[in-house]
Structure 1
Amino acid sequence: MKKQTKKGAAASRDERRMQQVFHALSAPPRRAILKYLAASSLTAGEISSRFDMAKPSVSQHLTILKTAGLVSRDKRGQYVHYALVKQTVETALMGLLTDLGAMPPAAEDKPLAEQDPSSPTAGRARKSGVATETDLPPAEKPAPAQMSMF
């Protein structure tokens, strides 16, 4: 059996992590959990109350998401709070786009906001590491929805 070098072992580890991420993303309940966590962190009880399934099943989905690195756990007193790890999601999707040839390889290691240094928002996004809606130039912002009092 051929001995793996450190570089080969790291590539294998990265490949396994990517497989875990996409396996975690393959189930609709796990994607729904990630959608809820994108808005705010939630306790396991708050998450399970949003689903019509047993609490152990929700716990199993949370374990898969945690193992893939898509969510983080923070124990506060008797409650465990879960939060989305946006960096893992971004890295996985950027890696997929690069593998498919939809993204140039030079941009693969940079966060989304830093890929175009001439962008007027690159400096603001670089500070936080994530581009937000407020970082978009005024022409690209979506129009606010019309609200009625009645």
Structure 2
Amino acid sequence: MAELANCSRCDAVFVKDIRTICQNCYKEEERDFDTVYRFLRDRKNREATVEEIAKATEVPKTLIMKFVKEKRLRTSQFPKLAYPCDKCGTTIVKGHLCFDCYEELKRDLEQHEKNEERSEQQRKKERQSSIYYSFDEKRK
């Protein structure tokens, strides 16, 4: 069943299918992609950075980074294309996190799992030690 949504770029109402943007914005985005790709196909521009591409093509940096994240512009073909790590801002060419942030997140998750395991062991220990006995004084 079709769902109505607001375009994330122009806020127009449209029938949402695969994309989060309306048809007009999609066409504009495709024109921008063609502009960037034509610029990068030129041999002298293949090592351009995102800032240089944005300045030469007048396409916003965020949109160029979106093309890289979507793997429409491959960093293997254009080696200086990079975008910031979601956490610290270091430039990366794949994923959402740089190696350092990834390792930090991994360590934090491992520490959290250890803490959860200790808490569970403590709860088990408390359940075992919370058994109460009553003494019947008449049974002496």
In the superposition, the TM-score normalised over structure 1's length comes to 0.30
The structure showing larger relative contact order (alpha-carbon pairs under 8 Å, at least 6 residues apart) is 1
Name the larger-Rg structure.
2
In the superposition, the TM-score normalised over structure 2's length comes to 0.31
